[in-house]
Structure 1
Amino acid sequence: MKINPMNPDIEARYVVGIDLGTTNSAVAYIDMQQKNFAVAPFAVPQLVAPGTVEARESLPSFHYEPAQGEFEAEATALPWSSHAPVVGILAREHGAAVPGRLAVSAKSWLSHSGVDRKAELLPWHGAPDVNKLSPGEASRRYLEHIRRAWDHAHPEAPLAEQDLVLTVPASFDEVARELTVDAARAAGLPRLCLLEEPQAAFYAWMRKHRKTSGMEAGQSILVCDIGGGTTDLTLIETEASKDAPLTYRRVAVGEHLLLGGDNLDLALAYHVEKKLGGSKLAPAVWSILVRRCQQAKEALLGADAPENYTIQLPARGRSVVGDSRQVELERDEVAQLLIDGFLPEVAAGDRPDVRQSGFQEFGLPYAPDAGITRYLTAFLAEHGNVRPDYILFNGGFFESAGLRRRLLDVLEKALDWKPQVLQADRLNLAVACGAAEYGRIRRGQGTRITGGLARTYYLGVGQDRGEPSAICLLPAGLEEGETVPLTDRTFRLYIRQPVEFSLFTSGTRTTDRPGDLLPIDEETMRPMPSIKTVINSGKKKTADQVNVQLLAKLTAIGTIEVWLEEQGGNRSWQLQFDARAATQTDRAVEEDTANRAGVMDESMAASSIGVIRAMLHAGQKEASKGLFKKLEENTGLDRSEWPPALLRRWLEETLLLGDCRKAAPELEARWLNLAGYALRPGYGFAADDWRVANVWRIKQAGVEHLRNEMCRAEWWILWRRIAGGLTENQQLELANPLIKQWNSRIRNPGVKKTGKPTGFQFGDHESAEVWRLLGSLERLQVARKEQLGELLLIWLERKGTRISNGAAVWALGRIGARVPSYGPLNTVVPADTAEQWAERLMQLNGSTKECAFALMHLARKTDDRYRDLSDDARRKALQWMQTNQVPNRLQKLVETGGLLDSEEQDRAFGEALPPGLHLAG
């Protein structure tokens, strides 16, 4: 994404800082025509009640979508628009009672690597009729509201023409930064630069206090920034300078932690739930409780806190215990719960727990350990056991004096360290004010914090030689706008064929220099979303190699560019972070495992490709028989042992032999079989998205031998095998005609079918493969899955669960699974729906393995109340399993949860997976 950086030579009247927060956003500005350069907050007009607009110093980062007719048209009008989105105070307050229409924590979702960050996810588990937003779209709407509010107040100086500084967490990955820039640009704000939030907080402090602080060269400052969604830790050192009394350098940044005020709200909600009797509240009531607990927390931990606070809940929800609808909380009770839970006593050597957090209520990957003090001591230990001379608190978490005191007491006791606390003014506005101050400093009117890039970045090389290594691309400390040419090394680049560029980053390896070739250290180098692409050049189609040198750059807006420049030529290619392909960052390690699973022998690959060519030759109809057997003989390996690298090579050769499909049905069936087998499960290996795109090209032409049931069955098997690599639209294109046909057959069983065999003139085998395909399409939207599940159950209730219908039972389990195999969590069907399906499945009295396995998927425990069946429903499922002597392993997955073992993963997928490739569940 290219955006023109802010140019200091363009003398815009205002420099404006925007703190786009998880819970609250704020704006501050400096009028550069005023001699004193005073920083002023911009009060953002917003709806505070229906029909009431007031300007406030912060804009709550909440988006509410009213139901049709919920408000009169004029009730949501703003001075600049009669149809603006409802964001801010009204959204937060009104949405607390209607959580299914309220989008929250968009900023946290922007950094969530386990979902498609560009998908329409919010509100998480929203109402059926709500129009969901992507995290980026929600962010865009907040920024657009700010822009239009500013333009209304300053028509002579539109915000898009001012010098704008937008803040992001220091720990944001490159994808999250790019998505933030995308949101700003879509909101009409193309001129901006990014600034890390802890630095912004320190700029705000510098503006008011640096001249009287008494700091000396060689001292260090810890910025501890804990907001609504994240914990950000930053170390800054002071240095002597000829040009200024003192300069500052940022020397370290902590890892990204989803740990902040939201976690306190959840912990308090769990506590209240237990006081109500212990049974889980219904999701809708739980969402309301979390918002009420946020209010209780702010009241009981704030200044002049009352001794008691009453939380009231609406009288609804199937899991509410008794008639108790309110809970009394005591100030000391809440303080002890939250302080001990999030700021526990620690020892100098303590490290955070790496086990999975229990906080999964909103689907966000919260930090596995709630103990902020453990992360803090570990951070200081990783950077030389430093004991900073000063500490600066920032973020809404530290609005509570009690939390500030507790953190200092714990650290003093554990580390024998008592830093001087820097005065922090207006924590809710510090980041915005500091961002505006940074915008002024960019014009050369103050002292800038140096330090540049927070982490060291690496590019994986030499992985085809068996020992992966990485070259240092950009060193920690590189300043914005600097370019690093790596001219001392030459690399071989493969063009016109699928390639993958593995990227790594480290927050602790600060001494590696550009060009250093290093072994990949899993302890200190964290994998980033890899870049998977095909480098094209000219009109040629054949694969080739070219020698290139690397050039890396940290842009003026704080994003990274990597260029490949031809040695001795004029061609160059830019590697870009692909936000779409990088939405499954958590699979990086698994992909690396798959890439190395079985070293492929080139002679084996060449000879086996010769077998494929001979047996798929268009003129040899009979030669296609026994293809897999001959490949096993040629390789000396059982098909379950063929490594992904070899399978993908076969796939690429198979694509070149696609014309054989026209020659004979037997050849087409074998071609489809081999293509799907070689590419399964459609993701997980370098450039699989490119391969899937090439296979998808045959979709338009369809089955060549349409009247041959064997070819049609292999057609469905192919798409089922690679379903994990298909986009949502591709899956929908496959599913829609099949669902329509099943709907017609099942709901109108007496109507005689005519026409081509693409309808339902095929037999049991093809029907089974169609069901399995539909069950594998996990990216379908919830409404489609609910429609499909209902059709499956009507079919099973009419036909029974005999062996010939086992595929339909299997498909029901996959469609209603609590833990998807590869799909995003936002497409999981609601728990109420899965509960009804489980009940109807058990009433079929089918004791087959398929029924047991499907029931496990429907009732599997996840510890996420939005996905889990009720306790009663899971007890019924366990009773059915015990009666039908289902293996204990499947019972345990329903009773306590856990991960599928390799055999269960194969059953969930429908066949064995290639070595090194795994499903997410």
Structure 2
Amino acid sequence: MKNDSEISSRFVVGIDLGTTNSAVAFIDMEQEGFEATVFPVHQLVAPGTVEARDSLPSFHYEPAKGEFEAEALTLPWSSEGKSVVGVLAREHGAAVPGRLAVSAKSWLSHGGVDRNAALLPWHGAERVHKISPGEASRRYLEHIRHAWDHAHPEQPLAEQDVVLTVPASFDEVARELTVDAARNAGLPKLCLLEEPQAAFYAWMREHRQAEGMQTGQSILVCDIGGGTTDLTLIEVEDGKDETLAYRRVAVGEHLLLGGDNLDLALAHHIEEKMGGEKLSPAVWSVLVRRCQQAKETLLQPNAPENCTIHLPARGRSVVGGSRQVELERDEALRLLAEGFLPEAAEGDKPELRQSGFQEFGLPYAPDAAITRYVTTFLAEHGNARPDYILFNGGFFESAVLRDRLLSVLAKALGWEPHVLRADRLDLAVAYGAAEYGRVRRGQGTRITGGLARTYYLGVGQDNGETASVCLLPAGLEEGETVELADRTFQLQIRKPVEFPLYTSSTRTTDKPGDLLAIDEESMRPMPSIKTVVNSGKKKKGAETINVQVHARLTEIGTIEVWLAEKGGNREWRLQFDARAATQTERAVEEDTANRAGLVDESLVETGAAVIQSALDPKRTGEPNALLKQLEAATGMDRGDWPPALLRRWFEETLPLATCRQASAVLESRWLNLAGYALRPGYGFAADDWRVGNAWLMKQDGVANHRNEMCRAEWWIFWRRIAGGLTENQQVELSGPIIKMWSSRILNPAGQKPPKQNSFQFGDHESAEVWRLLGSLERLPATKKVLLGELLLTWLERKGAKISNGAAVWALGRIGARVPAYGPLNTVVPAEKAEEWALRLMALRDATKESAFALMHLSRCTGDRYRDLPEESREKALAWLKEHKASERLLELVRDGSLLDAEEQDRAFGEALPPGLHLAG
């Protein structure tokens, strides 16, 4: 923690960067009394109208060209007006949701997407400029900085000490991205504070302690905001000078369950009131935003008895024939109370079924019952019955909802805590953050407790199993370092290594250095740390070095992990991998590939000898004989080779890539084995490192480029590892191919394509090129649409029969409603998939490929933004029935579900290694 002399800014500033609203409070450290004051943020509230408001709505709107007069978006500090945040963004964007970015904070914590990707607005309008969740957060914070600097030109915000709040349940990637957003917004002096603690600091500032509060008692902070439900348990301890002190002892798991869910629930209710007809995505987006407005109106104290929700007419037009629905206050409160605060019994646990709320691509909590999460949280922490409860967040603005939660808990647990008084729930977190800034200077009472969870590092053992070592204990305070001095680890150098990380909010007594079995019930996987450690001085034959691990909880609230060479002076910092965070939604027990049993080193060595011999430029033979030789040498069918063995063989094969120059046979052999061993390009420890090294040879192209067999194997190689390629790599790989296909397919009949774009693919190579293009799921949706149009034009052209099976397969992958590995933000729009499905059925091609492609195009997901209209899905079902498709394909189109192993193999194009799975 900083010394007083190191902290000299006049103000301490607390910023609540919320899912729905952001707020700012500050304390002037030069004034007596240190009063916390809200900072009204100037913002556009209407075109041409700037006002200061107590909060800044966390909404970002990008106007269309010419939508507003230039001067209408002028702010006191800027006249650019390229985008809008705040009240105007929220109000105007409710009618034009395709240009409105919302819930950026929820996306920051989404473990199923690349959080650095430009994906907001989700399902944005055509040609709208999308931004990442971090960029949206940066723009909110930058707006706050400009507003502050305009009001305090002599005390710019960059020079003040800023406390920025985050959910207690944020993972390390979300915390790091939040810090990056703040620093990129020009706020270098900051620290992080958990929101429930901030709410409690706000309460302490006003009340210090409740009447009758004493040592040994506890407080539950129940914080439900726009995006998350955050639960925190605080214990009362003896303080100095006969005062009370407070220690945070537990936090809940991350739950995307908050105001956004209430908006969706009201929208579904309104849809039912309108007759149950499923609204189009465009109208649905408007309805959700209108329901948000209605909710905020009806949950206010002294709210009106009802409100009217206006909706645009059916169809694409929003002009004329608008509809309106009345929503009664009692009706809305009953719906929200029964839906989110249902009756519960002691021992009830949340259901694990998939949430019905999938419209906006976020992984909402699978069960909406907040009461069950509260009872489970208390049960996991010694069947706690806290003496007090502090409510925070917009959800509890309603006395009806507060009373309902207390009533259900009293009935379920016989628990009636005293409710701590909290004023201005919308500003409490900002006030508390400012108060924490003052406490950091040694004034006031600090909540102790430190690190909210225990962190573990996955390590390999001699028996081949993976265990965990306690890395950081729960309760570690900011600025403290833990040295695992009693444990020495062997680290592979010059080879990819991955450090699995786990965390637990319930195992709070494990000590640093404890070696423990991985408990799938209480340990949750985190984004792993990946690296390649290069030893400065290469020691011949040295493949490992001995290292020790130390870790630190920094002063700003993030985690650092370091490796130190034992007996040396070198050390390496391990970085959290934001890209790896997209894998954290997989349950621990599903990570079978990395724990697929022991790999006998003799098999590795036997295979390595075969590979070395087969790729020796002095030898020749059949191109595909290598896999057969490996089967014979190992006594195993290739389909049974575990990923660990395959990846080791890839690492043996990679340095031998120069053999490709020697002959077409060796090149095709190398490409065949390397792609087979690395497929599908992800899912196993350090696969991104392997794919990155494979990518280096892309610039060299095919060595034997005149040989069609080599060219075909080249495309197969990239298709096999496509899942490990980044978006930019996929775009670079596909660009020249798409240009070639365009020159061939879109050229008028009878005309030869331009010489520089001459088409050279033969039948076999064409098929492999189509399969590759169909496998590039990270391509932007716009490029996928172009590809799909090329494919269908090719298929519809009279006599274009070569490669049809591969082309149809590729069409299904390109337009799939559920991607095999790609992010949802690159899924082709539903209206385009609908058009392709109808054109595919019109081809009168009843092959298995056609049925499988039609299933992908029309598969049910439960997400109205991805699903085809009901009428078109019925047509697809009728076609599939007419052409004797399996009941399983009909089920996927009618009801939707996950693909089984055989279906995943068909979607991938060949069998996957055991233990590796596609997402879809």
Q: Please tell me the residue identity of whatever aligns with 2:486.
A: D
Is 1:83 matched with 2:80? yes
Q: Please tell me the residue identity of whatever aligns with 1:33.
A: E
Contact 1:224 / 1:392 at 8 angstroms: preserved in 2? yes
Contact 2:223 / 2:229 at 8 angstroms: preserved in 1? yes
Contact 1:486 / 1:550 at 8 angstroms: preserved in 2? yes
* Cα displacement (A) at 1:303: 1.7
Residue in 1 aligned with 2:735?
736
Which stretch has the larger CA shift, 700-709 or 761-770? 761-770
Q: Please tell me the residue identity of whatever aligns with 2:47.
A: P
Q: Give per-residue Cα distances to partners, 1:880-903, cap 9 Å, x unaligned.
A: 000000001001000000010100
Is 1:805 matched with 2:804? yes
Contact 1:616 / 1:623 at 8 angstroms: preserved in 2? no
Residue in 2 aligned with 1:631?
630
Which stretch has the larger CA shift, 595-604 or 493-502? 595-604
Aligned counterparts of 1:249 and 1:113: Cα–Cα separation in 2: 30
Q: Determine helix, strand or coil for the equivalent of 2:621.
A: helix
Contact 2:340 / 2:371 at 8 angstroms: preserved in 1? yes
* Cα displacement (A) at 1:323: 6.7
* Cα displacement (A) at 1:848: 0.1
Is 1:55 matched with 2:27? no
* Cα displacement (A) at 1:495: 1.1
Distance 1:521 1:113, change over 3 A: same
Contact 2:681 / 2:691 at 8 angstroms: preserved in 1? yes
Distance 1:588 1:615, change over 3 A: farther
**1:464-863 equivalence runs, <5 A:** 465-538=463-536, 540=538, 544-587=543-586, 589=588, 592-622=591-621, 624=623, 626-748=625-747, 749-752=749-752, 759-799=758-798, 804-863=803-862
Q: Please tell me the residue identity of whatever aligns with 1:910.
A: G
Aligned counterparts of 2:209 and 2:624: Cα–Cα separation in 1: 84
* Cα displacement (A) at 1:770: 0.4
Aligned counterparts of 1:450 and 1:482: Cα–Cα separation in 2: 13
Residue in 2 aligned with 1:43?
40
Contact 1:590 / 1:916 at 8 angstroms: preserved in 2? no
Aligned counterparts of 1:193 and 1:744: Cα–Cα separation in 2: 55
Contact 1:167 / 1:196 at 8 angstroms: preserved in 2? yes
Aligned counterparts of 2:96 and 2:206: Cα–Cα separation in 1: 42
* Cα displacement (A) at 1:83: 1.3
Distance 1:166 1:754, change over 3 A: closer
Residue in 2 aligned with 1:268?
266
Q: Please tell me the residue identity of whatever aligns with 1:51.
A: G
Q: Please tell me the residue identity of whatever aligns with 1:436.
A: A
Q: Determine helix, strand or coil for the equivalent of 2:864.
A: coil
Residue in 2 aligned with 1:884?
883
Aligned counterparts of 1:625 and 1:115: Cα–Cα separation in 2: 37
**1:1-150 equivalence runs, <5 A:** 9-84=6-81, 85-150=83-148
Q: Please tell me the residue identity of whatever aligns with 2:59.
A: F
Which stretch has the larger CA shift, 211-220 or 696-705? 211-220
Distance 1:466 1:336, change over 3 A: same
Aligned counterparts of 1:68 and 1:441: Cα–Cα separation in 2: 48
Aligned counterparts of 1:701 and 1:409: Cα–Cα separation in 2: 70
Q: Determine helix, strand or coil for the equivalent of 1:622.
A: coil
Aligned counterparts of 1:663 and 1:393: Cα–Cα separation in 2: 72
Contact 1:258 / 1:365 at 8 angstroms: preserved in 2? yes
The sequence identity of aligned pairs, in percent, is 76
Aligned counterparts of 1:402 and 1:504: Cα–Cα separation in 2: 39
Aligned counterparts of 2:660 and 2:849: Cα–Cα separation in 1: 34
Aligned counterparts of 2:624 and 2:868: Cα–Cα separation in 1: 48
Q: Determine helix, strand or coil for the equivalent of 2:797.
A: helix
Distance 1:875 1:212, change over 3 A: closer
Distance 1:550 1:291, change over 3 A: same
Aligned counterparts of 1:462 and 1:103: Cα–Cα separation in 2: 43
Structure 1: gaps (5+ residues): none
* Cα displacement (A) at 1:331: 2.1
Q: Determine helix, strand or coil for the equivalent of 1:119.
A: coil
Equivalent of 1:206 in 204, 207, 223: 204
Equivalent of 1:412 in 398, 410, 413: 410
Aligned counterparts of 1:691 and 1:120: Cα–Cα separation in 2: 26
Q: Please tell me the residue identity of whatever aligns with 2:25.
A: A
Which stretch has the larger CA shift, 304-313 or 184-193? 304-313
Q: Please tell me the residue identity of whatever aligns with 1:646.
A: L
Contact 1:621 / 1:663 at 8 angstroms: preserved in 2? no
* Cα displacement (A) at 1:561: 0.9
Aligned counterparts of 1:515 and 1:244: Cα–Cα separation in 2: 37
Aligned counterparts of 2:755 and 2:615: Cα–Cα separation in 1: 31
Aligned counterparts of 1:164 and 1:307: Cα–Cα separation in 2: 41
* Cα displacement (A) at 1:185: 0.5
Structure 2: gaps (5+ residues): none
Aligned counterparts of 2:667 and 2:4: Cα–Cα separation in 1: 60
Q: Give per-residue Cα distances to partners, 1:585-638, cap 9 Å, x unaligned.
A: 224737731012242110011011101111110111227551111111111111
Distance 1:502 1:588, change over 3 A: farther
Q: Give per-residue Cα distances to partners, 1:654-688, cap 9 Å, x unaligned.
A: 11111110111011011111111100000000110
Contact 1:809 / 1:851 at 8 angstroms: preserved in 2? yes
Residue in 1 aligned with 2:284?
286
Aligned counterparts of 1:21 and 1:569: Cα–Cα separation in 2: 46
Q: Please tell me the residue identity of whatever aligns with 2:908.
A: F
Residue in 1 aligned with 2:357?
359
Distance 1:244 1:438, change over 3 A: farther
Q: Please tell me the residue identity of whatever aligns with 1:179.
A: L
Aligned counterparts of 1:362 and 1:497: Cα–Cα separation in 2: 40
Residue in 2 aligned with 1:376?
374
Distance 1:319 1:522, change over 3 A: farther
Contact 2:481 / 2:551 at 8 angstroms: preserved in 1? yes
* Cα displacement (A) at 1:438: 0.4
Aligned counterparts of 1:328 and 1:572: Cα–Cα separation in 2: 65
Contact 2:388 / 2:418 at 8 angstroms: preserved in 1? yes
Aligned counterparts of 2:48 and 2:313: Cα–Cα separation in 1: 29
Q: Please tell me the residue identity of whatever aligns with 1:132.
A: K
Number of aligned positions between the proteins: 916
